[in-house]
Structure 1
Amino acid sequence: MKPIWIVDDDPSIRFVLEKALGREGWPIRSFTQARDVLKALADVDSTDPQRQAPQVLVSDIRMPGGSGLELLEQVRAQQPGLPMIIMTAYSDLDSAVSAFQRGAFEYLPKPFDVPKAVELIRRAVEESQREEVADIQTPVQAEMLGQAPAMQDVFRAIGRLSQSQVTVLITGESGAGKELVARALHKHSPVAGGPFVAINTAAIPKDLLESELFGHERGAFTGAQTQRRGRFEQAEGGTLFLDEIGDMPFELQTRLLRVLSDGHFYRVGGHQAVKAHVRVIAATHQDLEQRVKDGAFREDLFHRLNVIRLRLPALRERKEDVPMLTQHFLQQSARQLGVEPKRMSSQAMHRLQTFSFPGNVRQLENICHWLTVMAPAQQIALKDLPPEVLGAAPPGTAQLPPAAALPVASAAPRLEEDFSAMAHESAEAGQSAIPCGWLEGLGKQAQELLAQGHNDVWDQLSQKFEAQLLRAALAATHGRRVEAANRLGIGRNTITRKLQELGLDNEEFD
């Protein structure tokens, strides 16, 4: 791992952070002034462990030889992806605003609580590592993004179709990115050198759609002062994308079928056939088979369009792509507005990944643009998310009854017993998951503690929840901490720290 760099002219601050970060197993490099940091950055060498670039930079704001804000500007110019935390004993509004405006990851006022400072640095490290992975995996101008298996199937299909001009039908919910797929099919096809022309058949009035598609001759109808080329002629030698084909009027479906079968058409009011050398790609969010059964869509046209069908998954079906897409849209919005890209906190990202996204990728793009404008800090916290995300209950959560309807009892001890009993029952039954009622039980315990007037409900329940997870993992691995950490999906240093914090360090797990 790359080192954490600390720059502060106060030796006591450096000492405290060095010891705290050293206990976490992180390599550290300390400096007393900004100019030394800049020299070290100019001398980094990835092949030399002593000269590696920093993973995170933690800097005081007021130091001899240059301020932390000046250092922040210079570092951002050299390494824009490096998270930098600004510390200061002068906790004024101007310092905080200046730090965030110049791209600081976070602002840490002195004196600070050491565990909270370490947790903040840990979040910065995670952000830095995510940025590094994204830089490797994501092209700067990627036309489509997706690591989910369903999206990889779409990418493979586009690759297989790259040497073909066959008609393709793209299905998927509104906002899922059907036009992006159509553009990718065009770009990677033998007609890529020709035009890509798109028309939404649901957005154009029925009386005008025929003229839009096929053009018209002069005098064909009132207002037709000149001859006009339609979309088929505009797409000559390229691709015509017919979006929302399921909404096309029934009488126009016959004309479209003739073009697909004969390869020629007539302009409105025309008597001379026009040859069409056009590849057609259609898309719909509707169930065309059902539309055929209902008599709203021609069966023969359906079969003409349904030569190759590509189904584009909804965003809720590929939640693993949300972080990558979010980063992409935040960077895109920042470029459009001429500001620094904002970053998502782990809590905010988790909430986004549990959101159902009824508007699919288009809705995520809009949310990212909203956050770029409205989120107050460079790092987007959970509370910064828009109301439609915060107001949606995450999947699997239950609606809790009001506190007054619940019996008041000594909740905290019983919670630990409930978890112990559930873990024991699951182990005996060979189950891989806690019974589904545990969330309701947790909610009831929280309501009871709140009804009793406790002000530390979060700490009480979080500690007991974490303790049960640790006990279960260590019991399953016979006390092997590294294996238990891997099974839980946390770091080795994290499990050691948690055992100490929860007083479990001396327990034996066989």
Structure 2
Amino acid sequence: MKPIWIVDDDPSIRFVLEKALSREGLPTRSFTNPRELLAALDDNAAAGEDSSGPSVLVSDIRMPGGSGLELLEKVKERLPGLPVIIMTAFSDLDSAVSAFQGGAFEYLPKPFDVPKAVELIHRAVEESVREEVAEQQQAQAPEMLGQAPAMQDVFRAIGRLSQSNVTVLITGESGSGKELVARALHKHSPHAKGPFVAINTAAIPKELLESELFGHERGSFTGAQASRRGRFEQADGGTLFLDEIGDMPFDLQTRLLRVLSDGHFYRVGGHSAIKTHVRVVAATHQDLERRVREGAFREDLFHRLNVIRLRLPALRERREDVPALTRHFLGLSARQLGVEPKRISEAALGRLVDFSFPGNVRQLENICHWLMVMAPAQVIEEKDLPPEVLTATPAGEHAPVPSPVLAVAPASASVLNPVLPVEAHAAGTEMKHVPTGWERGLQAEAAGMLASGQSEVWDSLIGRAESCLIQAALSDTRGRRIEAAQKLGIGRNTITRKIQELGLE
């Protein structure tokens, strides 16, 4: 097992953690300052010894010879999947916020309770193992799947661009797999040995996006306690993927245009020009020509990005790929959940092929994950499909008049919200939601428990449902709790409390 690396200038802290982790059977390696730790990482890299690297890093925030936040940034550049726990005094809570922004797994306030610290480190070790498994699965999985003519055109275009450094603009609907195309372009390019760095320009607040792209100097704004490299610097020698470029704020488009023109930029608050060698791949679901006409997107930037354009087809344009993608995602979901893969009947598969998939490949992946969790048997039947599929009009048929029946689309939102029978009124007619698939299973389970005289049926079933929801969300986010809470629509404290209450540690 890989050791937990501890860096702290206080020998008593190192001693307490070493002894406590040793009693748990967890190996450790300690350092007195960041320089020693970075040197050890360099030695491991030079020797090619991946097995002796850290599984988790526990670092103090204030040390002679460098801060924990600076160390966090440098370690994340080399080992982006490594969970890092920052130890901080109560007076450093502002720094803890910066630690989370820099990618820390969690922070540990000093003075800390030793059992709590060990419990936190155990969680970080589990996260590290999940990251390793996910990386192995990603390495084994095919880059992209598709036999449809439209996808074969995309594959041929990737091949033709394999030895080129030209800027590429990928267009296509949300969820159609634009980042997969960008990664394939990187993997088969002269920059393949360099980093692939992705940023969603629509997901980051405007006031933070400039710093994310170009970095900042220490003290350039409130909370900038250390200098930080931006995505352009991180991607030097590799590929920078700018997703949802159509949503970039107008004033930042000017700065981006300047970087694309001459390769130079300034950090926020900086005075020295920085040169970078980066291949830019951009993507959008929007009509950029229309955005240009509306004055929301710079025309000169559009022409700078639109050197080569790749259009990615929607899933409804490549229905012949749905069976292969479905089986692939069911197998992938089974590995993530650690269960036996389920099979899907031809009738259920045919219903999926006829579905229009407004959320494209991402929606199909979420549906497959939902089926792995919620389908009651080992063979997925047509009745087990989620309501959004069962109530949809098959391709080529006229849509009926909408029925006032409450339904949810758990797969498209990647949230498994339980549906309870709901009454609706329309034109004076009372209609009820008809349970399907997993809902019937839930009713049968409740009926059986009630008939057998079991007590606390409500708490028992709600707890099991919450457990399924949280495990599905954590699997979808590869164990990242904050992201899982956001996807479920609950608070970070709520998901932490529920994980403890339900014994999901």
TM normalised by structure 2 equals 0.51
Per-residue deviation, residues 177-230 of structure 1 (Å, max 9, x unmatched): 000000010011001000000000000000110000000111111221111100
* AA at the equivalent of 2:321: D
Structure of larger gyration radius: 1
Distance in 1 (CA, whole Å) between partners of 2:267 and 2:366 is 39
Structure 1 residue aligned with 2:161:
161
* AA at the equivalent of 1:195: P
How far is 1:396 from its partner? 2.7
Per-residue deviation, residues 47-72 of structure 1 (Å, max 9, x unmatched): xxxxxxxxxxxxxxxxxxxxxxxxxx
Residue 294 of structure 2 corresponds to residue 288 of structure 1: no
Residue 386 of structure 2 corresponds to residue 392 of structure 1: no
Residues 270 and 347 (structure 1), Cα distance of their counterparts in 2 relative to 1, 3 Å cut = same
Structure 2 residue aligned with 1:262:
262
How far is 1:400 from its partner? 6.7
Matched ranges for 1:407-418 at <5 A: none
Distance in 2 (CA, whole Å) between partners of 1:273 and 1:164 is 27
Residues 281 and 398 (structure 1), Cα distance of their counterparts in 2 relative to 1, 3 Å cut = closer
The DSSP-based 3-state class of the residue aligned with 1:241 is: strand
Structure 2 residue aligned with 1:183:
183
**Matched length:** 264
Structure 2 residue aligned with 1:352:
352
Distance in 1 (CA, whole Å) between partners of 2:319 and 2:329 is 16
How far is 1:140 from its partner? 5.8
Residues 303 and 334 (structure 1), Cα distance of their counterparts in 2 relative to 1, 3 Å cut = same
Structure 2 residue aligned with 1:148:
148
Per-residue deviation, residues 325-374 of structure 1 (Å, max 9, x unmatched): 00100000111111121111111111100100000000000000011111
Distance in 2 (CA, whole Å) between partners of 1:281 and 1:247 is 15
Distance in 2 (CA, whole Å) between partners of 1:283 and 1:202 is 11
The DSSP-based 3-state class of the residue aligned with 1:280 is: strand
Residue 249 of structure 2 corresponds to residue 249 of structure 1: yes
Matched ranges for 1:95-494 at <5 A: 141-398=141-398
Structure 2 residue aligned with 1:440:
none
Residues 208 and 400 (structure 1), Cα distance of their counterparts in 2 relative to 1, 3 Å cut = closer
* AA at the equivalent of 1:395: A
The root-mean-square deviation of aligned C-alpha atoms, in Å, is: 1.5
Per-residue deviation, residues 443-488 of structure 1 (Å, max 9, x unmatched): xxxxxxxxxxxxxxxxxxxxxxxxxxxxxxxxxxxxxxxxxxxxxx
Distance in 1 (CA, whole Å) between partners of 2:175 and 2:332 is 18
Per-residue deviation, residues 276-300 of structure 1 (Å, max 9, x unmatched): 1111000000000000000000000
Distance in 2 (CA, whole Å) between partners of 1:239 and 1:286 is 22
The DSSP-based 3-state class of the residue aligned with 1:163 is: coil
The DSSP-based 3-state class of the residue aligned with 1:199 is: strand
* AA at the equivalent of 2:155: F
Structure 1, unmatched stretches of 5+, are: 1-138, 402-510
* AA at the equivalent of 1:394: P
Per-residue deviation, residues 429-451 of structure 1 (Å, max 9, x unmatched): xxxxxxxxxxxxxxxxxxxxxxx
How high is the sequence identity, in percent, across the aligned residues? 83
Residues 375 and 275 (structure 1), Cα distance of their counterparts in 2 relative to 1, 3 Å cut = same
Distance in 2 (CA, whole Å) between partners of 1:316 and 1:387 is 19
More displaced 10-residue stretch of structure 1: 325-334 or 389-398: 389-398
Distance in 2 (CA, whole Å) between partners of 1:399 and 1:180 is 33
* AA at the equivalent of 1:197: V
Distance in 2 (CA, whole Å) between partners of 1:400 and 1:273 is 61
Distance in 1 (CA, whole Å) between partners of 2:270 and 2:338 is 50
How far is 1:376 from its partner? 1.4
The DSSP-based 3-state class of the residue aligned with 1:327 is: helix
The DSSP-based 3-state class of the residue aligned with 2:218 is: coil
How far is 1:398 from its partner? 3.9
The DSSP-based 3-state class of the residue aligned with 2:161 is: helix
The DSSP-based 3-state class of the residue aligned with 2:162 is: helix
Residues 224 and 303 (structure 1), Cα distance of their counterparts in 2 relative to 1, 3 Å cut = same
How far is 1:399 from its partner? 5.7
Distance in 1 (CA, whole Å) between partners of 2:384 and 2:340 is 17
Structure 2 residue aligned with 1:31:
none
How far is 1:395 from its partner? 2.3
* AA at the equivalent of 2:186: H
Distance in 1 (CA, whole Å) between partners of 2:176 and 2:163 is 25
Residues 270 and 399 (structure 1), Cα distance of their counterparts in 2 relative to 1, 3 Å cut = closer
The DSSP-based 3-state class of the residue aligned with 1:297 is: coil
* AA at the equivalent of 2:234: Q
Per-residue deviation, residues 262-286 of structure 1 (Å, max 9, x unmatched): 1110001111100011110000000
The DSSP-based 3-state class of the residue aligned with 1:216 is: coil
* AA at the equivalent of 1:153: D
How far is 1:158 from its partner? 0.6
Residues 140 and 222 (structure 1), Cα distance of their counterparts in 2 relative to 1, 3 Å cut = closer
The DSSP-based 3-state class of the residue aligned with 1:169 is: strand
* AA at the equivalent of 2:290: Q
Residues 398 and 272 (structure 1), Cα distance of their counterparts in 2 relative to 1, 3 Å cut = closer
* AA at the equivalent of 1:262: D
Distance in 1 (CA, whole Å) between partners of 2:219 and 2:380 is 59
Distance in 2 (CA, whole Å) between partners of 1:236 and 1:143 is 23
Matched ranges for 1:37-76 at <5 A: none
Per-residue deviation, residues 395-440 of structure 1 (Å, max 9, x unmatched): 2334679xxxxxxxxxxxxxxxxxxxxxxxxxxxxxxxxxxxxxxx
Distance in 2 (CA, whole Å) between partners of 1:386 and 1:150 is 28
Matched ranges for 1:77-92 at <5 A: none
Structure 2, unmatched stretches of 5+, are: 1-138, 402-505
Residues 216 and 354 (structure 1), Cα distance of their counterparts in 2 relative to 1, 3 Å cut = same
* AA at the equivalent of 2:210: E
Residues 340 and 287 (structure 1), Cα distance of their counterparts in 2 relative to 1, 3 Å cut = same
Distance in 1 (CA, whole Å) between partners of 2:269 and 2:171 is 34
